[in-house]
């Protein structure tokens, strides 16, 4: 990271190669869109290039820092979509605004996209991104117990969506 | 931290949160949870139920159409277009002022002298005023929202880092 902060493009390319897959996969699971995932990944790695000097390895792993940025961008995008839905839907407290995938996806990805934003984040970060429960809690700004509660609700909703007998 | 006094209720909640695969359990819970699972048929039934979802969730790999080169190209193009410097933010300067300074630097082709910067500021103010007044070149609502989100995200990050 110090080399990246000093403008070493080769070091930057190596970090992009190491982290592109998990970051873009997370963005894709959150948005259901390859195009949106690409936008998010581009923005995350642009910020990595510009702000490498601000990264503090004593506070977080690099992957956690990058996931934090991807998470914030995905949430911003989700909230932009929320503003576009009718007032009727927005009046429901804590309403889940189901995302519609822009490309054909399998039943699991489809079920994931039907989850409310925070449940989707908790499940995607915990299950697919190889992050610890504390790292997920840090990224989401929640306690680990709150993340666990989201995970239980998310998994139950997934079982219903996927018609797994409970 | 170990969770020696893991109740059945807590063990069940952990399995329902993290699934049935011990590799996915938080490190601090692995040992007591494995022990509880070995001694409790009801927990094993719960784990068997959760393992069905675990298997399904790993059945759909995500394709990766985005290439490293496309990311590098985007970074190069954006940096070249905006001339944003790869330096840590100076937190002694207000973020909004730092952004304005960068915009003025960019308009002055970087590194211009004070007099030219003065003209740039005046020219920028005049252009914004005329643009807003005549209603020309006003971005669409979507563009405004996108740029607002970008600026808010940058400001939030700066505040969070501060």
Q: What is the pLDDT of residues A30-70, one digit of tens each?
A: 998 889 999 999 999 999 999 988 888 888 899 999 999 99
Q: What would the mean pLDDT of A3-24 be, rounded to a whole number?
A: 92
For the ranges B76-85, B102-111, B149-158, the maximum mean pLDDT occurs at B76-85
On the question of pLDDT at A160 being above 90, the answer is yes
Answer yes or no: do A106 and B60 touch at CB < 8 A.
yes
A·B CB contacts under 8 A: 120
Residue B37 lies in a domain: yes
Residue B57 structure tokens: 């969730």
Residue A42 structure tokens: 């581009």
Q: What is the largest CA-CA distance in chain A?
A: 55
What is the distance between the alpha carbons of residues B89 and A74, in angstroms, rounded to a whole number? 24
Q: What would the mean pLDDT of B85-94 be, rounded to a whole number?
A: 52
Residue B69 lies in a domain: no
Q: What would the mean pLDDT of A69-76 be, rounded to a whole number?
A: 94
> Do B91 and B28 lie in a common domain?
no
Residue B68 lies in a domain: no
On the question of pLDDT at A165 being above 60, the answer is no
> Do B97 and B50 lie in a common domain?
no
How many domains does chain B fold into?
Answer: 2
Domain-wise residue ranges, chain A = 2-161
Note down the domain range covering B144: 87-161
Answer yes or no: do A53 and B87 touch at CB < 8 A.
yes
Global pTM exceeds 0.90: no
Cα-flanking dihedrals φ and ψ of residue B145, to 5°? Answer: -60, -45
Answer yes or no: do A155 and B50 touch at CB < 8 A.
yes
Task: Identify from B50, B53, B85 which residue to disrupt to test chain A contact, counting A C-beta atoms within 10 A and taking the largest count.
Answer: B53
Spell out where chain B has E strands.
none
Of A90-94, A143-147, A151-155, B28-32, the least confident: A90-94
pLDDT of residue A136: 96
Of A49-53, B3-7, B65-69, the least confident: B3-7
- In three-state secondary structure terms, A154 is helix
> Do B95 and B156 lie in a common domain?
yes
**Alpha carbon A127 to chain centroid distance?**
12
Q: What mean pLDDT, rounded, does chain B reach? A: 73
Residues B119/B126, Cβ–Cβ less than 8 Å: no
Task: Identify from A83, A151, A160, A165 which residue to disrupt to test chain B contact, counting B C-beta atoms within 10 A and taking the largest count.
Answer: A151
**Alpha carbon B154 to chain centroid distance?**
10
Answer yes or no: do B16 and A155 touch at CB < 8 A.
yes
Q: What would the mean pLDDT of B10-21 be, rounded to a whole number?
A: 95
CB atoms within 10 A of CB B69: 10
Q: Which of residues 1-60 of A touch B (CB under 8 A)?
A: 5, 7, 9, 12-13, 16-17, 20-21, 24-25, 28-29, 34, 37-38, 41-42, 45-47, 49-54
Distance from CA of A17 to the nearest CA of B (A): 6
Q: What is the DSSP string of A33-48?
A: -HHHHHHHHHHHHHHH
Residue B49 lies in a domain: yes
Q: Any alpha helices (H) in A85-143, and if so which ranges?
A: 87-90, 107-114, 117-128, 133-140
Residues A71/A44, Cβ–Cβ less than 8 Å: no
Tokens 């239980």 found at: A152
pLDDT of residue B121: 59
Residue B76 lies in a domain: no
Q: What mean pLDDT, rounded, does chain A reach? A: 87
Burial of B36 (0-12, 13-18, 19+ CB in 10 A): buried
- In three-state secondary structure terms, B128 is helix
Of B43-47, B87-91, B102-106, B117-121, the least confident: B87-91
Query: What is the dotted CATH code of the domain comprising A2-161?
Result: 1.20.140.160
On the question of pLDDT at B38 being above 70, the answer is yes
Helix (H) or strand (E) holding B119: helix B114-134
Percent of chain A at pLDDT > 70 equals 86
Residue B23 lies in a domain: yes
pLDDT of residue A102: 63
CA distances (Å), origin B77, targets A42, A46, B74: 11, 10, 5
Q: What would the mean pLDDT of B129-138 be, rounded to a whole number?
A: 59
Residue with the larger pLDDT of the pair B92 and A152: A152
Residue B66 lies in a domain: no
Q: What would the mean pLDDT of B48-60 be, rounded to a whole number?
A: 92
ipTM for the predicted complex comes to 0.81
Residue B153 structure tokens: 């995200």
């Amino acid at each position: 990271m110090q080399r990246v902060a000093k403008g070493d493009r080769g070091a930057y390319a190596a970090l992009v190669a190491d982290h592109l897959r998990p970051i873009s996969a997370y963005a894709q699971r959150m948005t259901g869109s390859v195009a949106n995932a690409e936008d998010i990944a581009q923005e995350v790695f642009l910020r990595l290039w510009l702000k490498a000097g601000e990264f503090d390895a004593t506070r977080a792993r690099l992957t956690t820092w990058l996931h934090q940025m991807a998470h914030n961008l995905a949430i911003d995008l989700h909230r932009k979509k929320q503003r576009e839905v009718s007032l009727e839907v927005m009046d429901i407290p804590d309403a889940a605004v189901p995302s519609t995938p822009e490309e054909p996806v399998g039943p699991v990805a489809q079920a994931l996209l039907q989850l409310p934003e925070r449940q989707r984040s908790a499940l995607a970060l915990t299950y697919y991104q190889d992050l610890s429960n504390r790292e997920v809690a840090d990224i989401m700004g929640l306690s680990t117990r709150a993340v666990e509660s989201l995970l239980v609700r998310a998994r139950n909703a997934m079982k219903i969506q996927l018609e797994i007998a409970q | 931290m170990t969770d020696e006094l893991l109740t059945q209720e807590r063990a069940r909640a952990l399995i329902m949160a993290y699934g049935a695969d011990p590799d996915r359990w938080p490190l601090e819970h692995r040992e007591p949870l494995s022990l509880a699972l070995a001694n409790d048929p009801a927990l094993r039934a719960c784990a068997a139920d959760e393992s069905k979802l675990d298997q399904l969730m790993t059945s759909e790999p995500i394709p990766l159409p985005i290439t490293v080169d496309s990311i590098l190209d985007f970074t190069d193009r954006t940096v070249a277009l905006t001339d944003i410097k790869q330096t840590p933010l100076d937190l002694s300067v207000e973020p909004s002022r730092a952004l304005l300074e960068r915009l003025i630097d960019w308009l002055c082709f970087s590194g211009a002298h004070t007099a030219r910067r003065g003209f740039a500021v005046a020219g920028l103010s005049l252009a914004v005023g005329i643009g807003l007044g005549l209603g020309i070149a006003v971005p669409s609502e979507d563009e405004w929202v996108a740029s607002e989100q970008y600026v808010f995200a940058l400001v939030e990050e700066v505040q969070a880092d501060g």
